[in-house]
């Protein structure tokens, strides 16, 4: 794909703007992106940037519980406070010890703590169907919690259709 600005070089910077239910994509080469003021940070080339990114995310997390600040891993001795400051765990057991804080962090970053990756192209229709059913069931729970019963009924009907059940 060629740069949309100079139409000479290959586009290596791809920007997507989604606003007001419309999607606009811009494809630029690196030099045109710099000319237009687009800041490019290459985290792939900087191994140290990952801990920095995690540190920024952890530090932006609100202090939800004072008890989390005083937690210390019995195996490696790292404190929750040190984890928050460095963005690095001391050992694998820290995931268990700091579970509450890590779960809150993941929910803040991703909105959920369950991995919802893409379905591989080679995957069968059954896997895609199962994934869609899981997603619909989550949407149904949310609609019921929000008391959006018409939307909940529509979601329920889609679930019934995917499962091959007649409407109840």
Q: Are residues 16 and 55 in the same domain?
A: no
Complete DSSP assignment for 35-76: HTT-----STT-TTHHHHHHHHHHHHS----HHHHT-B-TTT
What pLDDT score was predicted for residue 69?
65
Q: Are residues 11 and 29 in the same domain?
A: yes
> pLDDT tens across 77-125, in order?
998 888 878 888 889 898 888 888 888 877 777 777 776 666 666 766 7
What pLDDT score was predicted for residue 125?
75
Q: Are residues 27 and 61 in the same domain?
A: no
Paired residues of 89 in beta bridges: none
- Cβ neighbour number for residue 150 with a 10 Å cutoff: 8
Residues 81, 162: Cα–Cα separation, whole Å:
47
Residue 115 maps to a domain: no
Percent residues over pLDDT 70 in the chain: 74
Q: Are residues 5 and 26 in the same domain?
A: yes
Residue 75 maps to a domain: yes
Percent residues over pLDDT 90 in the chain: 23
Residues 130, 115: Cα–Cα separation, whole Å:
14
Whether this model's pTM surpasses 0.75: no
Q: Total structural domains in the chain?
A: 3
Residue 167 banded pLDDT, cuts 50, 70, 90: low
Residue 65 maps to a domain: yes
> E-assigned strands of the chain?
13-19, 22-28
For the stretch 69-76, contacts whose Cβ atoms lie closer than 8 Å and that sit 24 or more positions apart, written own/partner, are 71/97, 71/98, 71/101, 72/97, 73/97, 73/98
Q: Are residues 61 and 106 in the same domain?
A: yes
Residue 21 maps to a domain: yes
Cα distances (Å, whole numbers) of residue 140 to 1, 19, 67, 126: 41, 26, 34, 21
Taken as a whole, the chain contains a residue count of 168
Domain that holds residue 87: 49-110
Supply the mean pLDDT for the chain.
Answer: 78
Q: Are residues 59 and 99 in the same domain?
A: yes
Q: Are residues 73 and 100 in the same domain?
A: yes
């Amino acid at each position: 794909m060629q740069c949309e600005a100079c139409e000479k070089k290959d586009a290596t910077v791809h920007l997507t703007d989604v606003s007001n239910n419309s999607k606009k994509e811009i494809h630029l080469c690196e030099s045109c992106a710099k000319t237009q003021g687009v800041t490019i940070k290459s985290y792939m080339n900087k191994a140290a940037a990952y801990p920095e990114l995690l540190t920024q995310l952890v530090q932006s997390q609100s202090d939800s519980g004072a008890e989390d600040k005083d937690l210390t891993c019995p195996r490696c001795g790292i404190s929750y406070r040190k984890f928050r400051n460095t963005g690095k765990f001391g050992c694998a057991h820290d995931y268990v010890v700091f579970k509450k804080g890590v779960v809150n962090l993941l929910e803040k970053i991703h909105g959920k703590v369950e991995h919802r990756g893409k379905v591989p192209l080679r995957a069968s229709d059954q896997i895609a169907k199962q994934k869609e059913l899981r997603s619909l069931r989550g949407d149904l729970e949310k609609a019921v919690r929000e008391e959006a019963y018409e939307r909940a009924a529509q979601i329920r009907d889609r679930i019934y259709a995917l499962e091959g059940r007649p409407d109840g």
